Chains A and B, each alone.
Chain A
Amino acid sequence: MNWEVVIGLETHVELATKTKIFCSCTTAFGGAPNTHCCPICTGMPGTLPVVNRMVVEFAARAGLALNCEITRKNRFDRKNYFYPDLPKAYQVSQLYLPIARNGRVPIQTEQGGEKVIRIHELHMEEDAGKLVHDPWADQTRCDYNRCGVPLIEIVTEPDFRTAEEVVAYLEQLRSTLEYLGVSDCKMQEGSLRCDVNLSVRPVGSETLGTRTEMKNLNSFKAIARAIAYESRRQIELLEEGKRVVQETRRWDENKDATFSMRSKENAQDYRYFPEPDIPPLELSEAYLEQLRARQPEMAQARRARYQRDYGLPASDAGILTGQKALVDFFEAVIALGAPPREAANWMLGELMRRLKEEGQEPKSMALTPGTLAKLIGMVSAGRINRNTAVKVFRAIFPDDGDPEEYVQAHGLEQVQDAGLVERTVEEVLSNQTAAVADFRAGNVKALGFLVGQVMRQLKGKADPQAVNRAVSERLKQPEN
């Protein structure tokens, strides 16, 4: 039998506000345990939450960018459960009236087509604290620094059929949220986390199979591998005549497999009810209009502009605009006067290569736009040739070194002395009589060899085109 995999995603995104959702404690990552806390976020009795204006703005702007309908009359609800990561024994969330619903996110499919992923809803909620289970004593330590950090949860319809579609959507989502500036979307720090709901059904079937929910997916690679594993597991179960149990499963990166999590009894009975401590939140049309007017130029629009105005190929423009860190870097380099195509070539070639070698993300690299702009400037001024520039770039990339200093320290400056070039050409030609004879006999390849010899003599520091010209000129002269 042929099987179809059906996937829906729940993505939690930490908002890049300075303070928590209901109190003025900092959201800064890290910090000694419980030092970013106050009576509100530690759930002390008698405290009252006050909503952070910026959380509403970021959530609404994310909703608008994902083509959602924005809920004009908002309300918060309590999701009740006893687990010490939430000191209040409930999470303030939005169940009945989420801030945004019915969105659409277009993604590019493998086949080069476009597919629309429907967004079921987007709601605001608070993050939970971190628990450390003591391995030696019967105790759990609670650190509430993350408790009350604002989140949006974005829930899709079960519209994905492959891991590639899921990754394409997440890349699109990440890029959108980064362009908006509503989240830094760092998966390693947990500011973008994903739960994958997956079921399988015979091809052609209209009813959904029993789904499992996978947690602990903290990279795009883990998500793709977990989807491959879990689809295989469910198909095998069904083909053996067994059934899939609806449960939460944890992805284990090291074992490359998903494992059933001991299900908390009655865990699904959250007994939601309206949060009485927070008055309703009404968003006016004027407010939404003002947010719409402030939306930045998103990836798609910028991609088109780069193709149109800078003549970049679609694929190059796609890579540059795919990540906010890259696009910001690119814009900064050209703002410093570098020709756009040149800047794009450097970024898509050497810069991407170095990132890959160092295992780094664009947003965490040390290199600054000023450094690349300077290097490009040195090449176009003829101070160093392109090969030398690549060497310099590779060396200064990790610590954002100064290309000028590096070139001086290593004596890489291009030979500007035309006399020296001429003398070297003379010397090489008189030594390489065989190659010269070859050339004169009609073997054009010998020219390349001779140019190479001159470059070698000059330790690669000459302008190859100038050397080429000089050698050609000299060979045109009659033999003496």
Chain B
Amino acid sequence: MEHRRPFKLMALSLIFMGVATLAWASAIAAQTANTETKPAVTAPAASQADGDYVGMETCITCHEDQHKRFKNTVMGKIMEHPRTDLEKRGCEACHGPGKAHVEAGGGKETIPVRFGKDSKNSVAEQNAACLDCHSKGNRLFWKGSQHDSRAIACVDCHQVKQELHPALSSEGRYSSPLTENRGLKKSQPELCLQCHQMRKAQLQRSSHMPYREGKVTCTSCHNPHGSPNPKQLLQSTTNENCLSCHTERRGPFLWEHPPVMENCANCHDPHGTSNPQLLKVRMPRVCDSCHVATRHPTQAQPLGSIKNFNRGCTNCHSAIHGSNHPSGDKFLR
């Protein structure tokens, strides 16, 4: 591994990205001349001529109830004071132009874009309607992400016009940190656990982070909308993710334990275990599985051994995450 080459790569990459972005911006500006461009997967809504739009007032004449609910949502509030041409379209910004629907006197089949399981639109078409506005922020890496590539629709998790009414048992069983996001179909972690059902079991383990207590939740570490990082993590690596809270273990230390610095998940399972300290295997075996040196690391250790009970190996090697003590080469200090 060369120490300097990556930073040359980084500089070249940044220059490339900058030039590409500028070039692309210029091209877009020239092409669109203040008009909205089409998304990569074009929703029917955007493929229609402007004359096909009937305006929100027309929609409200029949759909007053939906409008009442919608106008109290964040999207509804923003569309009261639209900033873009798309936002000015109100209902038709998401559902597409309503002319055909109006002329037919209503009917679900004449709505260009509908959402949910009974929609005729593909998942890509439905998502494209959302991404018309929501392609920035933490959705930047949505395209090609884990959930996108497995045909997950935005509306599988989100809802716009409904209030969240969890079952009473859900209130009792799940707890999540305070959030402003009121557009989810269920609160976290219950929402994620619908598909990731194995995690539901893991969160019940005796050794766990405070998920059940509503202090940490799935999106504390993961971005379900896609990230360029492994496991859709918010940070670049597993360790950067863990060390964003457990900063004391970040180092650099004088004496480092390489598997610790490389991946916390070598020894710990963050989703919960039955062993102390979220360990995948309890001590001393978690250490024994790597350390086949001489003397005590290779003794099988009877039950009544100081290297077994209580804190196991860390009864003595307590600085196992790294030591900055000049005498800490064996992680005793």
Are A and B a genuine interacting pair, yes or no?
Answer: no
Chain A residues in contact with chain B, CB under 8 A? none
